[in-house]
Chains A and B, each alone.
Chain A
Amino acid sequence: MESAKELFYKMADDLLIFGHRNSEWTGLGPILEEDIAFSSMAQDKIGHAQAIYQILHEMGEADSDALAFNRPSSAFRNCQFVELPNGEYDFSMVRHFLFDHADQQRFEMLATSAFEPIAKVARKIKGEIKYHVFHADTWLVKLSQANEESKARMQSALNEAWNYALGIFEEGNFESDLRSKGIFEGEAALKARWMDKISPIIEKAGLRIPDESTWNPVLGGRKGYHSDHLDPLVLEMGEVFRLDPGAEW
Chain B
Amino acid sequence: MIQSLDPRVTRAQIELNNPIDPLTELDQWETYEVFHQKKRGDQHIHVGIVHAANPEMALLFAKEQYARRGVSVNIWVVKTAQVYSSDYADSDIFETVPEKIYREAGGYKVMEKINKYKKAQAVK
Is there contact, CB below 8 Å, between A36 and B57? no
Q: Given A138-B57, A142-B53, A236-B9, do A33 and B4 touch, yes or no (CB 8 Å)?
A: no
**Interfacial residues of chain B within 45-59, with CB under 8 A of chain A in the complex:** 50-54, 56-57
Q: How far is the CB of B50 from chain A (nearest CB, A)?
A: 5
Is B8 among interface residues, defined by CB-CB distance under 8 A? yes
Give the segment of B60-68, B79-87, B92-100, B112-120 that binds chain A.
B60-68
Is there contact, CB below 8 Å, between A33 and B51? yes
Q: Given A37-B60, A134-B60, do A31 and B9 touch, yes or no (CB 8 Å)?
A: no
Q: How far is the CB of B21 from chain A (nearest CB, A)?
A: 16
Is A28 among interface residues, defined by CB-CB distance under 8 A? yes
Is there contact, CB below 8 Å, between B53 and A85? no
Is there contact, CB below 8 Å, between A34 and B54? no
Which of A24, A27, A36, A138 has the most chain B CB atoms closer than 10 A to its own CB? A138
Which of A28, A37, A40, A236 has the most chain B CB atoms closer than 10 A to its own CB? A37
Is A131 among interface residues, defined by CB-CB distance under 8 A? yes
Is B16 among interface residues, defined by CB-CB distance under 8 A? no
Is there contact, CB below 8 Å, between B5 and A36? no
Contacts of B2 in A (CB 8 A): 232, 235-236, 239
Contacts of B50 in A (CB 8 A): 33
Contacts of A134 in B (CB 8 A): 60
Q: CA separation between A157 and B7, bound complex, in Å?
A: 20
Q: How far is the CB of A33 from chain B (nearest CB, A)?
A: 4
B-side residues, CB < 8 A to A, are: 2-9, 29, 50-54, 56-57, 60-61, 63-65, 68
A-side residues, CB < 8 A to B, are: 24, 26-28, 31-34, 36-37, 40, 85-86, 131, 134-135, 138-139, 142, 146, 229, 232-233, 235-236, 239
